[in-house]
Chain A
Amino acid sequence: MRITLNGRVEERSPTTRVADLLPDPRGCAVAVNGQVVPREHHAAHLLADGDVVEVVTAVQGG
Chain B
Amino acid sequence: MADALTIAGQELSSRLLLGTGGLPRLSLLDDVLDAADPGLVTVSIRRTSGTGPGSLLDTLQRRGIRILPNTAGCLSAREAVLTARLAREALETDWVKLEVIGDEASLLPDALGLVEAAEELVRDGFVVLPYAPADPVLARRLADAGCAAVMPLGSPIGSGLGLLDPLAVESVVAAVDVPVVLDAGIGAPSDAALAMELGCAAVLAATAVTRADDPVEMARAMRLGVDAGRAARLAGRIPRRATARASSPVLGRVG
Residue numbers of A with Cβ under 8 A of B are: 6-7, 23-24, 26-31, 34, 36, 38-39, 54-62
Mark B78-97 against chain A: 1 for CB-CB distance below 8 A, else 0. Answer: 00001101111111000000
Q: Verify B46–A59 contact, CB threshold 8 A.
A: yes
Question: Roughly how many angstroms separate A29 CA and B88 CA in the complex, as a whole number?
Answer: 8
Does B255 lie at the interface of the complex (its beta carbon under 8 Å from any beta carbon of A)?
A: no
5 A-B pairs with CB atoms under 8 Å apart are A24-B52, A26-B53, A29-B45, A29-B88, A61-B44
Does B57 lie at the interface of the complex (its beta carbon under 8 Å from any beta carbon of A)?
A: yes
Q: Verify A58–B48 contact, CB threshold 8 A.
A: no
A58 → B minimal CB distance (Å): 4
Tally of B interface residues using CB under 8 Å: 37
Mark B149-174 against chain A: 1 for CB-CB distance below 8 A, else 0. Answer: 00000000110000000000000000
A6-B48, A55-B47, A59-B43 known, 11 other contacts, Cβ within 8 Å: A27-B57, A36-B85, A36-B89, A56-B45, A56-B48, A56-B90, A58-B69, A59-B54, A60-B20, A60-B21, A62-B204
Q: With A56-B46, A60-B22 given, is the CB distance from A27 to B90 under 8 Å?
A: yes
Which chain A residue has the least Cβ–Cβ distance from B157? A62
B residues less than 8 Å from A23 (CB atoms)? 52
Q: Verify A57–B48 contact, CB threshold 8 A.
A: yes
B residues less than 8 Å from A28 (CB atoms)? 48, 53, 90
B56's contact among A36, A56, A58, by CB below 8 Å, is which? A58
A57's contact among B82, B90, B184, B206, by CB below 8 Å, is which? B90
Question: Roughly how many angstroms separate A62 CA and B184 CA in the complex, as a whole number?
Answer: 9
B108 → A minimal CB distance (Å): 15
Q: Verify B89–A29 contact, CB threshold 8 A.
A: yes
Q: With A27-B90, A29-B89, A36-B89 given, is the CB distance from A58 to B43 under 8 Å?
A: yes
Mark B33-61 against chain A: 1 for CB-CB distance below 8 A, else 0. Answer: 00000000011111110001110110000
Q: With A27-B90, A29-B87, A36-B85 given, is the CB distance from A61 to B21 under 8 Å?
A: yes
Q: Verify B86–A54 contact, CB threshold 8 A.
A: yes
Q: With A6-B47, A23-B52 given, is the CB distance from A58 to B22 under 8 Å?
A: no
Does B72 lie at the interface of the complex (its beta carbon under 8 Å from any beta carbon of A)?
A: yes
A37 → B minimal CB distance (Å): 8
Does B199 lie at the interface of the complex (its beta carbon under 8 Å from any beta carbon of A)?
A: no
Q: Verify A34–B43 contact, CB threshold 8 A.
A: no
Q: Verify B86–A61 contact, CB threshold 8 A.
A: no
Question: Roughly how many angstroms separate A24 CA and B83 CA in the complex, as a whole number?
Answer: 20
Q: Verify B23–A27 contact, CB threshold 8 A.
A: no
Q: With A29-B87, A29-B90, A34-B82 given, is the CB distance from A61 to B43 under 8 Å?
A: yes
List B1-33 residues whose CB lies under 8 Å from chain A. 19-23, 26
